[in-house]
Structure 1
């Protein structure tokens, strides 16, 4: 049992102090909790640097057979922490940004995609338990999970279009394989919010439960059921299921990274950022 090991015997990731995550392991199930540090567990710099090493470590840990992914507090995650990331985005938003800054931005997009890809590529099945808001980059994150369950108060939004951004972390690649092209286009083109009932109806989540506690209990139950199966066979099932879609997802991610590096800088994006800081609706002009 994991609990019987001393700190010196545990894999390093289990005793590492993460800024964006809390990790526990028991009975072959790892529980990864988003903890911010931004409001609503928003995905700031810490999330994007810590996620890939964490999930690679979970993948490599032979004692872990399944992973539960959830959020602390009332919400799963508000998605990309735009104010916190502005230091990284600032260069490419400059009016005179040329090849150098755009190349750096392209590299940053690919690195951030790697954070979400690490969840999808983890050989240990990931079950996302969603309560409250799940917005933008948080939808990217749960689409990388194998199974999603939600509480009745959960709300989902592929909201990037509302801030003049083409979603580039995986939603546009993975959502059509989960909910179909039509539903994906509706969500991505409108940026609308949907509730848990609609999410269940279109297949974004498998089941909806009364509250966060019941949702987390259900996710833990699924993880325990998976962990009770032959681990190499479970990994084989996931590998076979992922095989046919891997090339399609990779191609989409490469394309959107190049597209955003070329076209994302715009007056509309600058207006969207200003509107966020000034807490007002943006006025887009297609420039």
Structure 2
């Protein structure tokens, strides 16, 4: 693959592609480049007949800190203004749909995908791993559906896809508390397929499974994934449309401003329900 991207690197060998998150935000945070590039990255890989499996991982010490709040703050500016009218709300709605499209590109890829997760996987990181077929984690991995701590309803995939992965009670506990869980708990509730000693071992395990998949007849593999995916397409699509409309209507709040401010000031937020 000759293309060069700002948010990821792509390496292909022996029918397996490795997509590595590289930021540019701290902790591979997801900024404008990520949301713009992911559809192209996965469409290109999906069209490459030489690629039979994809491993998705993060560079450095973490998988992803999730949404890059500093870089993406402008997308909230209009809708957060006092007395925001229909125009900024419509524009924010369109932004949410575009961001959903970046995660959808991973979920809709006909090529099997495996996430290798180490360190932190927060917010948007969980949205991303909810879109892959299999998830492997290192022993130091930690997960958080943290949007509630910012006074945000997660809107790009977690609440649509995690119900197909986790039990209802486990999902509600994560989404309503915003708590952090370790790799052992993630494996126990079925968020990850397996836990390995460290990042290197986790990536090796992901590549081993990818190689097993790549050795199978590619059209049949695509067919299996297509049949499995067909069972959830309508449900996920309906959920994504609903949450995009909900957030365009209700996301702007004093609590959101407080959540963002508290995050940057590294202090507990004080929410008032306004």
Give me the whole-angstrom Cα distance separating, in 2, the residues matched to 1:15 and 1:283: 49
Give me the whole-angstrom Cα distance separating, in 2, the residues matched to 1:214 and 1:70: 12
Q: Structure 2 stretches of 5 or more lacking a match?
A: none
Give me the whole-angstrom Cα distance separating, in 2, the residues matched to 1:54 and 1:81: 19
Cα distance per residue 1:179-212 (max 9 Å; x no partner): 1211111100000000000000011001100000
Determine helix, strand or coil for the equivalent of 1:166.
coil
4+ aligned runs moved over 4 Å, structure 1: none
Q: Which residue of 1 aligns with 2:166?
A: 179
Q: Which residue of 1 aligns with 2:34?
A: 47
- The correspondence of residues 1-287 of structure 1 with structure 2, limited to 5 A, is 14-287=1-274
Which has the larger displacement, 83-92 or 120-129?
83-92
Give me the whole-angstrom Cα distance separating, in 2, the residues matched to 1:249 and 1:234: 22
How far residue 113 of structure 1 moved from its aligned partner, in angstroms, is 0.1
Task: Calculate the TM-score normalised by the size of structure 1.
Answer: 0.94
How far residue 244 of structure 1 moved from its aligned partner, in angstroms, is 1.1
Supply the RMSD in Å over aligned alpha carbons: 0.7
How far residue 282 of structure 1 moved from its aligned partner, in angstroms, is 1.2
Cα distance per residue 1:93-142 (max 9 Å; x no partner): 11121100000000000000000000000000000000000000000000
Give me the whole-angstrom Cα distance separating, in 1, the residues matched to 2:43 and 2:133: 16
Determine helix, strand or coil for the equivalent of 1:179.
coil
Q: Structure 1 stretches of 5 or more lacking a match?
A: 1-13
